[in-house]
A and B are shown apart, each in its own frame.
Chain A
Amino acid sequence: MSRRYFGDYVFRSYGWRHLQSRVMIGLLAAACGLVLLPLFSILGYVVWQGLPALEPAFFTQLPGSVGEAGGGMANAIVGTLTLVGLALLLGLPWGIALGIYLSEYGRGRFASVVRFSVDMLSSVPSIIIGLFVYAWVVIPMKRFSAVSGGVALALLMLPTVARSTEELLKLVPGHVREAGLALGLPRWKVILRIVVRGSLGAIATGVALALARVAGETAPLLFTAFGNRYWNQGLDQPIASLPVQIFNYAISPYEEWHRQAWGGSLVLIALVLGLNISMRAALRRKGKTGDS
């Protein structure tokens, strides 16, 4: 007759729990893989298809004539950088100011109307933003232009920048503001020079994420920046951009243009991912010094 000790039961039940735990961790890993699969298959496929198109000429030359081999997307690369720069110039001060208002002064009815409007703006489809800019900028100017494209992208950036700035500033504890006031500083100085300054790194990341998102927008550029097969002649003229160029090339019947569209896609993804990753890395470095 063997007697079973309490310890035996404990041991056995732990074995069962370990098994359960392994199975669950396995399931979670599988779910994780499933999520990553689309991302990496997109990346892999774009690199596989796009890399052969990336000859030096791709970065230095204008698009070739219809059906002709050679040529590049230099004007579209410069165009995208120009448009993103314009969006930054127009959208950034406005978005950050809105974020500061919502976080630091945003109480009462007016503020909730503003907050609601910003949220509404972020849910407006990007093509509608494009149409709006077409009606309000392109038609009065009587031409497609880089400026109108920049305005469209700025409008798309605005809600993201404003809300991320607001949320980040709200993370700064109230007693930090009080400490600033207690030093005999006016409120606006406390906000700009202490609260906002302390969150600058994080705000920059939010801005970079917003920029990365609008850099790939196509719809709002179709009838604002329009596109251009030559170098841009000025900010009041139509301007090429990578997404629009990719769109035009991808729907064309020419093999060579398809190849270049893949090349353009790879450059666009590299630009966006590069911006994203470098901002995150910069923030992590800052975080390590205890300097958030």
Chain B
Amino acid sequence: MTTTSPFLLETRGLSAWFGNAQAVKPTTLGCAANTVTAIIGPSGCGKSTFLRCLNRLHEEVPGARAQGEVFLENGPVYGPGVDPVAVRRKIGMVFQKPNPFPALSILENTVVGLRLAGVRRKNVLRELAERSLRLAALWDEVKDKLDQPGMSLSGGQQQRLCIARALAVEPRVLLMDEPTSALDPVSTARIEELVTELKKEVTVVIVTHNMQQAARISDRTAFFLLGEVVEFGETSRLFTNPVDPRTERYITGRFG
């Protein structure tokens, strides 16, 4: 690419389909480095699909496809010769339900991405595990039981374990798909705190159902409705002084 953009992650006319049904209409968005971008909108508006297009996970669903362009650090994410596996190394993801890998210990879960990418040395893995678990604010709770199954942790801890697992491969971007919707308020608060901390390390794009959450943790917010971006801008501005009447109606709770 010759044009350099101020954004770390950028989409140009990105749209997505499930078979013949268009889930996301052409969308152009940009996320600056070390910011948190929130994506809000009612259920079924395409916000998760949009997120899953960013790391090319969308296309893994049978019949699903995406069109348009995505750039990470000015390099193409879509296009001939781009390996989705390589893209996903740089764009990590955390899911709605905590999903530690079954039968793997806390330690193994944290470093499984590195381990399977060929990192063998035990002390290196151990060090990187500690670093990732500290970043995910989980280290103090698990440092004495790293050999226990990841599944033995509580839901909130499991979700932080998944964050540590995603961070361990040192991605540039972390996508979060409603990461707190299955968690209790205390665990939710911890994850929100964590996201604000993580900004120093990665660029975060977070899909959330919870408008207060978007307002609390994000720098910019995009409001999706029926597969398109209605409004995108500074979070404080969008929530206090929305331009589009549909945004206003949504954030004041009149639909959705």
Q: Which residues of A contact B (CB under 8 A)?
A: 107, 172-173, 175-176, 178-186, 189, 193-194, 197-201, 289-292
* Complexed CA–CA distance, A184 and B101 (Å): 15
* Complexed CA–CA distance, A185 and B116 (Å): 7
Q: Which residues of B contact A189 (CB under 8 A)?
A: 116
Contact between A181 and B99, CB atoms less than 8 A apart: no
Contact between B152 and A175, CB atoms less than 8 A apart: no
Between-chain CB contacts (< 8 Å), 27 pairs: A172-B102, A175-B99, A178-B60, A178-B93, A178-B95, A179-B93, A179-B162, A181-B85, A182-B88, A183-B92, A183-B112, A183-B116, A183-B166, A184-B87, A184-B117, A186-B85, A189-B116, A193-B116, A194-B101, A194-B104, A199-B102, A201-B103, A289-B149, A289-B152, A290-B151, A291-B149, A291-B151
* Complexed CA–CA distance, A198 and B103 (Å): 5
Q: Which residues of A contact B47 (CB under 8 A)?
A: none
Chain B residue at minimum C-beta to C-beta distance from A192: B116
Chain B residue at minimum C-beta to C-beta distance from A185: B116
Q: Which residues of B contact A181 (CB under 8 A)?
A: 57, 60, 85, 88
* Complexed CA–CA distance, A147 and B8 (Å): 62
A291-B103 contact given A183-B169, A184-B86, A184-B89, CB 8 Å threshold: yes
* Complexed CA–CA distance, A178 and B95 (Å): 9
What does the 1/0 interface line of B137-159 toward A look like (CB < 8 Å)?
00000000000110110000000
Chain B residue at minimum C-beta to C-beta distance from A201: B103
Contact between B99 and A176, CB atoms less than 8 A apart: yes
Assess whether B209 is interfacial by the CB under 8 Å rule.
no
**Closest 5 CB pairs between A and B?**
A184-B89, A198-B102, A183-B113, A182-B93, A184-B88
* Complexed CA–CA distance, A55 and B184 (Å): 65
Contact between B169 and A184, CB atoms less than 8 A apart: yes
Contact between B116 and A173, CB atoms less than 8 A apart: no
Contact between A184 and B85, CB atoms less than 8 A apart: yes
Give the distance to chain A from B43, nearest Cβ to Cβ, in Å: 18
Give the distance to chain B from A194, nearest Cβ to Cβ, in Å: 5
Contact between A173 and B99, CB atoms less than 8 A apart: yes
Q: Which residues of A contact B166 (CB under 8 A)?
A: 182-183
* Complexed CA–CA distance, A292 and B99 (Å): 14
* Complexed CA–CA distance, A155 and B166 (Å): 43
11 additional contacts (CB under 8 A) given A182-B55, A182-B57, A194-B116: A175-B96, A178-B57, A178-B93, A179-B99, A183-B165, A184-B85, A184-B87, A184-B90, A193-B112, A198-B103, A291-B151
- Residues of chain B in range 51-74 having any CB-CB distance to chain A below 8 Å: 55, 57, 60, 62
Assess whether B97 is interfacial by the CB under 8 Å rule.
yes
